[in-house]
Amino acid sequence: MALRHLTSLSPVTLCSLRRRFTHKPFSLSVSASMASSFRKALVPIANGTEPMEAVITSDVLRRAGADVTVASVENQLQVDACHGVKILADALISDCADTGFDLISLPGGMPGAATLRDCGILESIVKMHAADGRLYAAICAAPAVALGSWGLLKGLKATCYPSFMEQLSSTATTVESRVQQDGKVVTSRGPGTAMEFSVSLVEQLYGKEKADEVSGPLVMRSNLEDKFIMAELNPMDWKCDNPQILVPIANGTEEMEAVIIIDVLRRAKAKVVVASVEDKLEIVASRKVELVADVLLDEAVKHSYDLVVLPGGLGGAKAFASSEKLVNLLKKQRESNKPYGAICASPALVLEPHGLLKGKKATAFPAMCSKLSDQSGVENRVLVDGNLITSRGPGTSMEFALAIVEKFFGHGKAQELAKVMLFSSQ
């Protein structure tokens, strides 16, 4: 088995969130009553929002039990986020003006962060929220573009996406931490730090025990000082010009996995088609984030693909397994020796029962690995066996997507994207 070291990463220990972040003491104490209480969070989004940052935050907070409202600052619920990802918000921001929240967290992305900044209703909500001494947060461009512009970082340490650090320096004391907490504000750097950022928000709302409980099933990296590794058996060349990639989604699909795969592959300039296996384009993902597909599967299966890759999520995987058209397309990929792949529950619930892992080694979500007939490769975070690629869960999705980028575009491109997304420092 060949172990491919994609890139080395900056140090951070996920199991010890408090030690990871440089911060002043957080004045909002985390008591037993707080940990068990109902918490409300607002995640505003706009056209041009970075979808990974918005979706990861919403998903992780909902896993902790928070009541998350994803609110559009546009004139309609559907938001066209970066990289062609379409998200349906739960509400318009005007519907949230009279609601109290325990947390407001702004995603980045441009021009999304600028649109958030220019939304008067949102500015008023966040300023009143901050004045009441409640927790607020921002990631990527949003700390500099929105919070800084509103004067909400004065005298505080904060971080943001590297290219906005100069702008941030005029409104805050800048630091280069992956996640930075100072008082009641938490800031972070980009898509590659979004999961750490989100788990840190869970810790501030509910305590460290809940944060650890949430982070465990995400299958996050144990130490970012380690190199993330793609294990490969029976290497074959996947490279082609302008790869056509199909990403099916369904009700119950794990939204972090779907969005990370779509976003990263489109950053690499792959032609990604998102197809709904339901009878409409809109799907409700596993943590209730609503996504909008490009086409229905009935239309998508009329075309050929260089890769068909399945996100996980229990409900979504079951829908994939029961879709005769999707299963037949996957079988055609295998028979043609063309790449196909799956992450989380999908290797065990879709590929295995339909004979698509026969003679192959694969990995899957830890609780699902017992369903694999060959479990000798399950400890790998990303495993490639010829034309098959599999992975474990939300916390391995970035590595999974970058491994696909490497197979189609080369190691250099994967490294470049990892650095741009702040998943890697090198």
Q: Please give the angle made by the CA atoms of 82, 86 and 91, to the nearest 5 degrees.
A: 110
Euclidean distance between CA atoms 414 and 411, whole angstroms: 5
User: Helix %, strand %, coil % for the chain, to 5?
Assistant: 40, 20, 40
Tokens 């994939």 map to which residue? 320
Report the DSSP pairing between strands 86-88 and 78-80: antiparallel
Burial-class residue 244 by CB neighbours within 10 Å (0-12, 13-18, 19+): middle
Block residue for tokens 């996920």: 14
d(CA 292, CA 296): 10
What does the alpha-carbon distance between residue 325 and residue 250 come to, in Å, rounded to a whole number?
Answer: 14
- The type of residue at 117 is R
Amino acid at 361: K
Contact 39, 206 (CB under 8 A): yes
- Cα(342)–Cα(3) distance, rounded to whole angstroms? 19
Beta carbons within 10 angstroms of residue 43's beta carbon = 25
Which one is catalytic: 140, 240, 344, 369? 344
Taking a C-beta distance cutoff of 8 angstroms, is the pair 249, 296 a contact? no
Phi, then psi, of 340 in degrees rounded to 5 = -150, 160
Query: How many CA atoms lie within 13 Å of 203's alpha carbon, on the beta-carbon side?
Result: 23
For residue 49, what are its two tokens? 């929002």
Structural Rg of the chain based on CA atoms: 21
Quote the CA–CA distance of 52 and 43 in Å, as a whole number: 13
HSE value, Cβ hemisphere, 13 Å, CA-based, for 424: 21
Instruction: Tell me the backbone φ, ψ of residue 394, rounded to 5 degrees.
Output: -55, -40
Cβ atoms of residues 79 and 89 within 8 Å: yes
Task: Give the single-character DSSP code of 25.
Answer: P
Question: Is 344 in the active site?
Answer: yes
Residues involved in catalysis = 344
